[in-house]
Copies of this chain bind each other. A is one copy, B any other.
């Protein structure tokens, strides 16, 4: 099957050549699997995406869900597609057999679900949230909570949400006002308003399980007073049957630029006395539980951004190959036939830039997935801890880098199409609108940059930074041994030195106590850091391509040539940008910090 969703050749390169997921099968958890079972999952996902997800993507965008004051209406294709999806069992793919799962590695499961996001990110939004919700209940819920909610969430009978944001607080969770007071039978009564709750209401499932952040009366102020509650739309009886309607109501749908098929809702909890909720884990520790879901969601957002960029790139590539227009600068004879626009160097530039961003972005996210697997199944405790440490520092990068650069790729995909790309006849404008959400939700760029520089880089005396730069330098060492990648090894080594110096210059300010100045230009630090990491990811790909190209089939030679070209592009056109960024950072430029409201 050759779709314009994702490149299967690239996906297999990432899984089997770059991240060696087959080695995971040595672990007992994955011992039933092998390359054939992995490929079968990818096949299933691609077919499902092409047959049931892609066909209604444009329609769902044009005919977005509506609310008549009682119920949410949606085109029927969404539910039909999800029914097909549940039948594959993919929703529970990474879970244990006794939960109905397949014990599939995250790396493979996320690759498979990428086909579905590429085909229709709005429809895929629903099960994505359900899956993340189930993971929190599985990790922190009581046995009773797990019994009531886990099976229906993992089979699609129920769906889940994460209900964090409130109108007056936004990203500042410290300021949420939703309150909880103890009620009957161990429940709490929840009262408050939530906003931007994705999949917060619909008729796609029997029930909706909200994971709600709220403060128990008398809790400490700030984030240390936040607790986590399960608040179902319908109460669930002990035998699993649905009980009364809970006091949660849909105040309205939010109309968005893109991602229109995933409802975004304003929810009122407790307008009639209080919505019944079950406390998850201990009181006041809700944010730490929710961070599990948020971290997963952040990787999901980065992957979504990469995937939207990726499929847009493949659409642009197809268009560039098929569309004749103009001639080469050196062959302007008007009587000669027009050439395909892929022959124009500037079109090649735009396609290479997209390729570098989306293949780099996807590889980065799947590296994150591989770390998720290693966190659980690496052989030694030390290796598992090392994977966690790397994942901690990379999470803000995985969330942000694709959100920025694969959105830019989505824009270039439009540009390759010219005027046609601006029309709703081609999917690239929708992909661009969908992708514009990603730098915003699950923590904006600014929030991610504060997390990276203010927390992750500085924690444990820079242990995580040392860990990731150590990995980078290992790759530099390997690349130095290969003629084709020596140039890049040298560039990356210099970039590491530059970033280390920059980090030291900033850390000195932090140690000196001027936290506002230390963090002033953190967004730029995130950009430089991200480019270095993605350059590293590209160098790893370049090394494999350089090693294998000589003895490869003609088709694979082309593929590896493409990898080397994109690697070259990234190292020559992109990575050097961090020099200037690091200069601004090291100079502690106060232009933004010192700008006054009155001067705007």
Partner-B contacts on A (CB < 8 A): 165, 168-172, 174-175, 195-196, 221-223, 254-258, 264, 317, 321, 323-330, 332, 334-335, 338, 340, 342-349, 351-352, 355, 411, 414-415, 418-419, 421-425, 429, 432-433, 436-437, 439-441, 444-446, 449-450, 454, 515-516, 518-523, 558-559, 561-562, 565, 568-569, 572-573, 576-577, 579-580, 583-584, 587, 589, 591-600
Chain B residues with CB under 8 Å of A328's CB are 516
Contact, CB under 8 Å: B440 / A321 = no
Chain B residues with CB under 8 Å of A329's CB are 450, 454, 515-516, 518-519
Contact, CB under 8 Å: B591 / A580 = no
Contact, CB under 8 Å: B222 / A346 = no
Contact, CB under 8 Å: B562 / A256 = no
Bound: A424/B338 CA distance, A: 42
Partner of A577, one of B335, B344, B558, B577: B577
Partner of A169, one of B168, B223, B325, B342: B325
Q: A522-B346, A591-B352 are in contact. Are A335 and B221 (CB under 8 A)?
A: yes
Q: A165-B419, A170-B418, A580-B577 are in contact. Are A595 and B352 (CB under 8 A)?
A: yes
Bound: A324/B222 CA distance, A: 16
Q: A221-B335, A255-B423, A325-B169 are in contact. Are A565 and B599 (CB under 8 A)?
A: yes
Partner of A444, one of B342, B415, B518, B587: B415
Given contacts A432-B436, A565-B591, A565-B594, 10 further A-B contacts (CB under 8 A): A171-B418, A221-B334, A257-B424, A329-B519, A351-B595, A355-B600, A414-B436, A419-B441, A422-B437, A422-B440
Contact, CB under 8 Å: B421 / A440 = yes
Secondary structure type dominating chain A contacts: helix
Contact, CB under 8 Å: B523 / A349 = yes
A-B contact pairs, 7 of them (CB 8 A): A170-B419, A221-B335, A254-B425, A329-B518, A330-B516, A348-B592, A558-B598
Q: A516-B328, A516-B330 are in contact. Are A445 and B348 (CB under 8 A)?
A: no
Contact, CB under 8 Å: B565 / A589 = no
Partner of A346, one of B258, B446, B600: B446
Bound: A266/B403 CA distance, A: 35
Copies of the protein in its oligomer = 2
CB nearest to A523 among chain B residues: B346
Chain B residues with CB under 8 Å of A352's CB are 591-592, 595
CB nearest to A351 among chain B residues: B600
Q: How far, in Å, is A489 (CB) from chain B's closest CB?
A: 18
Bound: A256/B418 CA distance, A: 12
Contact, CB under 8 Å: B576 / A580 = yes
Bound: A254/B587 CA distance, A: 50
Contact, CB under 8 Å: B446 / A422 = no
Bound: A433/B429 CA distance, A: 9
Contact, CB under 8 Å: A573 / B591 = yes
Chain B residues with CB under 8 Å of A254's CB are 423, 425
Contact, CB under 8 Å: B561 / A596 = yes
Chain B residues with CB under 8 Å of A343's CB are 597
Q: A519-B345, A522-B346, A584-B572 are in contact. Are A334 and B440 (CB under 8 A)?
A: no
Chain B residues with CB under 8 Å of A332's CB are 222
Q: How far, in Å, is A169 (CB) from chain B's closest CB?
A: 7
Q: How far, in Å, is A354 (CB) from chain B's closest CB?
A: 10
Chain B residues with CB under 8 Å of A346's CB are 445-446, 449-450, 522-523, 592
Chain B residues with CB under 8 Å of A257's CB are 422-424, 429, 432-433
Chain B residues with CB under 8 Å of A584's CB are 572-573
Bound: A437/B419 CA distance, A: 8
Bound: A279/B299 CA distance, A: 61
Q: A576-B583, A583-B576 are in contact. Are A593 and B345 (CB under 8 A)?
A: yes
Partner of A349, one of B172, B355, B565, B592: B592
CB nearest to A172 among chain B residues: B326
Chain B residues with CB under 8 Å of A572's CB are 584, 587, 589, 591
Chain B residues with CB under 8 Å of A429's CB are 256-257, 436
Partner of A255, one of B171, B174, B424, B450: B424
CB nearest to A428 among chain B residues: B257
Bound: A346/B445 CA distance, A: 9
Chain B residues with CB under 8 Å of A562's CB are 599-600
Contact, CB under 8 Å: A172 / B325 = yes
Bound: A349/B349 CA distance, A: 29
Partner of A334, one of B223, B255, B432: B223
Bound: A172/B331 CA distance, A: 13
Contact, CB under 8 Å: A597 / B342 = yes
Most buried by B among A346, A436, A561, A576: A346
The 5 closest A-B pairs by CB, nearest first: A222-B334, A346-B446, A562-B599, A257-B429, A349-B592
Q: A223-B334, A423-B254 are in contact. Are A325 and B444 (CB under 8 A)?
A: no
Most buried by B among A168, A254, A256, A600: A600
Contact, CB under 8 Å: A591 / B576 = no
Contact, CB under 8 Å: B321 / A597 = yes
